[in-house]
Copies of this chain bind each other. A is one copy, B any other.
Amino acid sequence: MQTRQAEYFGAYRTIRMTRDAKGVLVVEFHSDGGPCTFSAQHHTEVVDAFHRIAQDRANKIVILTGADGDFIIGVDWNSFGDVSDPGVWSQIHDEGSQVLENIANIRVPVIAAIEGRAYIHSDYALLANVIVAAEGSTFQDVGHFAVGVTPGDGIFTTWSYRAGAGRAEAFLLNPRPLPAATAYEWGVVAEVVPNGQALTRARELAALYLKAPEVTRRDTRIHFIQPLKERIVREVGYGLSLEGASSAALLRSKAKNEAA
């Protein structure tokens, strides 16, 4: 089993994985080792990575985090190609819904450790059971309505699920940095810790959870994630189709403006 783990741990250019002797796996999103700017390669790799993570029963707890003091800070738009091409968007649609299902199907407790900016795909973090956020960290959605695109990739579903629909709608329509303290008041963040301490605290919680038997840990995750998993399965595919249409419309209107 060791061989196989080693294999997929090193299979991705955009995700760093380390696992301690207790089976606590830390999954770190990055771009060339620095803060993660989300690209098409990330988008493709997370699908496979989270499926393998979920299937590997040597993972006892999974911690999601970012690199270098941030969670995910932005998007490398060009890497996604011509998103108005239905063939291009078809792949984004399929990967985008699959990755959320794959994270939901990690059948051990998942903890998100947030430092700095969670500006893109905070939905990945909201699929954790518990979010630990540094006091200086902020949540925002810089990749959708702010740039003229429908927030359909799970960002609404997860924020609506954890913060309530009213807050989620206002947050996504008028995106501004949301402090960790507010996310805590909203019930999204479970614990606010000093800057730089999110991963440390996540490891403490992992140690606490490890006291329960493995079946208990797995079955607790299964039970807790089920309602959100069902919402993802019902809502995100459609959401991504709407987002694709809105992206194509945006490109068209830009092209028209440039032509004019």
Chain A residues at the B interface, C-beta cutoff of 8 Å: 47-48, 51, 54-55, 57, 84-87, 89-91, 93-94, 98, 101, 105, 107, 109, 129-131, 145, 148-152, 156, 160-170, 172-174, 186-191, 205, 208-209, 211-216, 218-220, 222-224, 226-231, 233-235, 237-239, 241-246, 248-250, 252-253
Known A169-B224, A213-B148, A220-B151; contact A252-B85, beta-carbon cutoff 8 A:
yes
Question: Of B93, B174, B219, B220, which is within 8 A of A90 by CB?
Answer: B219
Cross-chain contact of A213 among B167, B237, B250 (Cβ < 8 A): B250
Asked if A245 and B250 sit within 8 Å, CB to CB, the answer is no
Of B54, B86, B129, B151, which is within 8 A of A245 by CB?
Answer: B86
A190 touches B166 (CB 8 A): yes
CA distance A98 to B105 in the complex (A): 8
Report Cα–Cα, A107/B47, bound state, in Å. Answer: 14
A188 and B211 within 8 A (CB): no
For A239, the closest partner residue in chain B by CB is B223
Which 9 residue pairs are nearest across A and B when measured between Cβ atoms?
Answer: A241-B241, A215-B249, A238-B238, A219-B242, A170-B190, A216-B246, A86-B249, A164-B187, A150-B219
User: Cα distance A188–B186 when bound, in Å?
Assistant: 12
One of B186, B213, B223, B229 near A242 (C-beta < 8 A): B223
Asked if B252 and A86 sit within 8 Å, CB to CB, the answer is yes
B contact residues around A168 at 8 Å (CB) = 224
Given A91-B57, A149-B216, A241-B241, residue A230 in contact with residue B228 (CB < 8 A):
no
Chain B residue at minimum C-beta to C-beta distance from A90: B215
**Interface residue from B105, B107, B216, B243 paired with A145 (Cβ < 8 Å):** B216
Closest approach, in angstroms, between the C-beta of A40 and any C-beta of chain B?
A: 14
State whether A170 touches B130 (Cβ < 8 A).
Answer: yes
Contacting pair B109 A94 (CB below 8 A): no
CA distance A131 to B212 in the complex (A): 31
